[in-house]
Chain A
Amino acid sequence: MYGSLDISTSALVAQRTRLNIVAANVANARNILNAQGEYDPYRRRFAVFGSGDPAGGSALGVHVAEIRLDEGPLRPVLEPGSPYADEDGYVYYPNVDPVIEQMNAMEAARAYEANISALEATKSMFSVALQIIA
């Protein structure tokens, strides 16, 4: 039963990481420059989960296997006056869709809650088990 806490915690960490990525996507939704100030539109990131918990050395649990870049098409916006416009006058903005990000955030939050419920159940089981002796 002790392992159950580790499993739920690994899921909480993974879901929070996912929520962090959503936050980063929304924050960078109109970001077309990279850290060096060059024209390099931000690409949407997303977390891919893998089962097992390598940090805890267990086959049970979940972890963020990798954070990938969304190679989908960027969003062209007609801004002929912009110094970053191409020959047709388009500036390419990040492929971040607020609707998708909102959905992801909700799913991550619900999954987080589901794991909290599991944690609560584990805690109740601990206290019930303690009552056998007390």
Chain B
Amino acid sequence: MIGGVTSTEGLATLERLVQFAGQRHRLIVNNIANFDTPGYRPTDVSVKDFQKQLGDAIDERRRGGRPAGPLDLKDSFQVEFSTHSLVLHPTPIGENILFHDGNDRDLERTMQDLVENFLTFRLASQLLRNRFDLLNTAIAERV
């Protein structure tokens, strides 16, 4: 029980999720800002691929017999990890028909992405907070 509290197995995962959602928010906001820019192609990164990277890293960690600790994340062509941050390399999504101004905006989907991404960010942040609260409680009861 005490081991579970202090080894904080979810922290590394949640930290990456917050970082990813925070970075991706910028991309979505930029797409919204460019709704009326002629010739602009909205860019984004694949959430599915990131989740797979994260899942693979967690599996890898489990196979190594460690339930907790840092994750060994493999870079993909869209997401590049460093020790304390990650960098996104977005690519044009371009699934929509082109408007006359050469922009292939998709208002509804972009706003949906904005909301989904925000909810992911909030979920990860609150789970992170719960972890810290748990640690706080454990420390307070001991002292």
Contacts and interface: CB of A to CB of B under 8 A. Distances in A.
B35 A111 contact: yes
Contact of B30 (A61, A107, A121): A61
Interface of A, secondary structure class, is: helix
Contacts of B36: 14-15, 18, 49, 62, 107-108, 111
Given A1-B26, A128-B126, A132-B125, A7 B118 contact: no
Interface of B, secondary structure class, is: helix
Interface of B: 18, 22, 25-26, 28-30, 32-38, 40, 107, 111, 114-115, 118, 121-122, 125-126, 128-129, 132
Interface of A: 1, 3-4, 7-8, 10-11, 14-15, 18, 48-51, 60-62, 107-108, 111, 114-115, 117-118, 121-122, 124-125, 128-129, 131-132
15 contacts: A8-B29, A14-B33, A15-B36, A60-B30, A62-B33, A114-B111, A115-B33, A118-B32, A122-B25, A125-B22, A125-B121, A128-B122, A129-B18, A132-B128, A132-B129
